Amino acid sequence: MEKKKLFTGIVAGVIAIALVATIAYLYVNLDNQKKENKAMQELADLDKKEMESEYQQFANQYSEMKTQITNDSLVAQLTAEQEKTERLLKELKDTKSSDAREIARLKKELATVRAVLRSYVVEIDSLNRLNQNLTAENTRIRGQYNEATRQIEGLNTERASLTEKVAIAAQLDATGLSMQLKNKRGKKTDKTSKAKTVQVNFTIAKNVTAQNGQKTFYVRITTPSGTVLGGAGNFNYQNRSLEASMKKSVEYDGQETAITTYWNVSQSLMEGTYQVSIFADGNMIGSRSFTFK
């Protein structure tokens, strides 16, 4: 009888220990689950705030773009898109971050708003460029008209025409343009990864009408990504300041003149097509593209 009681006590003890262990495990697991849920909620809140910020930025951009144009039809389109963006922003603010389905829908709408905004940015930029070109063209034409009027009044039409022809004839011309990559031994290579020096050669054609004297030639190399291999300062071209890759000053006497310039590779060169342009006296006098592996 005592053995039976002892056995019953042992079983009861084991069951009690197992029960305590199970309760402890469930408590720890529940606590971990709460922590994970809290972390996920914090991430959801952060994601929602970032979306709200983007919606607000896009709405502000629409408002700013409307101040840059005078086209009533385009302004109306931008206003409609701005109102839509503000409506979606309000919907987002009224949505709980835990509403995964609604957040996903508004995130998809955000991507659409971003794409539409990008298309308007491109369109307005094109219109602005067109307006700038038209303004410049009108200014040029108006200047030509005034000049023609002065020429007629002063009986200088023929003289001015001759001067213009001489100026055009005096413009220099770069021929035989080449670009070579040199390795550390100074040998030619077609692989950008082995290039240590970029060599650009060109010849200034004979031009007896050009003004003789010291002239500076600027070489500008544009990489496949659109950046410029800089390092030689800036120069002016068509009322803009452009960055030069190399430059070289020579004494020009109107005869054919060969010129060689070098650029030391200070950055990793990518594969693709490079555009090389030559400038002198405020004019682009030669340009050519080269492709390297």
Q: What is the CB neighbour count within 10 angstroms for residue 62?
A: 23
> In 3D, which of 236, 227, 226, 224 has the Cα closest to residue 283?
236
- What are the residue ranges spanned by the domains of the chain? 2-124, 172-292
If one compares 241 and 47, the residue with the highest pLDDT of the two is 241
Lowest mean pLDDT among 92-96, 122-126, 217-221, 288-292: 122-126
Please report, rounded to a whole number, the percentage of residues in the chain having pLDDT higher than 70.
Answer: 74
- Average pLDDT estimate for 35-40: 52
Tokens representing residue 275 in the block? 């555009």
Tokens representing residue 210 in the block? 């050009």
Q: How far apart are CA 157 and CA 159, in angstroms?
A: 6
Query: For the chain, what is the mean pLDDT?
Result: 79
> In 3D, which of 193, 201, 200 has the Cα closest to residue 267?
193
Query: What integer pLDDT is reported at residue 21 of this predicted model?
Result: 65
Residue 28 burial (CB < 10 Å; 0-12/13-18/19+)? exposed
Query: What integer pLDDT is reported at residue 69 of this predicted model?
Result: 77
CA-based torsion, 37, 42, 45, 46: positive or negative = negative
Tokens representing residue 46 in the block? 């952060």
Whether the Cβ atoms of residue 218 and residue 174 lie closer than 8 Å to each other? no
Whether the Cβ atoms of residue 268 and residue 227 lie closer than 8 Å to each other? no
DSSP 282: T
Residue 163: pLDDT band with limits 50, 70, 90: very low
Supply the CATH classification number for the domain 172-292: 2.60.40.3880
Residue 165: pLDDT band with limits 50, 70, 90: very low
- Average pLDDT estimate for 196-200: 95
- Average pLDDT estimate for 247-255: 91
> In 3D, which of 207, 209, 208, 204 has the Cα closest to residue 278?
204
> In 3D, which of 118, 69, 116, 68 has the Cα closest to residue 88?
116
pLDDT of 160 > 50? The answer is no
Residue 146: pLDDT band with limits 50, 70, 90: low
Q: Which amino acid would we find at residue 80?
A: A
pLDDT of 166 > 60? The answer is no
**What does pTM read for this prediction?**
0.45
Whether the Cβ atoms of residue 183 and residue 218 lie closer than 8 Å to each other? no
Residue 282: pLDDT band with limits 50, 70, 90: confident
Residue the block writes with tokens 């108006």: 142
Residue 161: pLDDT band with limits 50, 70, 90: very low
Q: How far apart are CA 59 and CA 78, in angstroms?
A: 10
CA-based torsion, 128, 129, 133, 134: positive or negative = negative
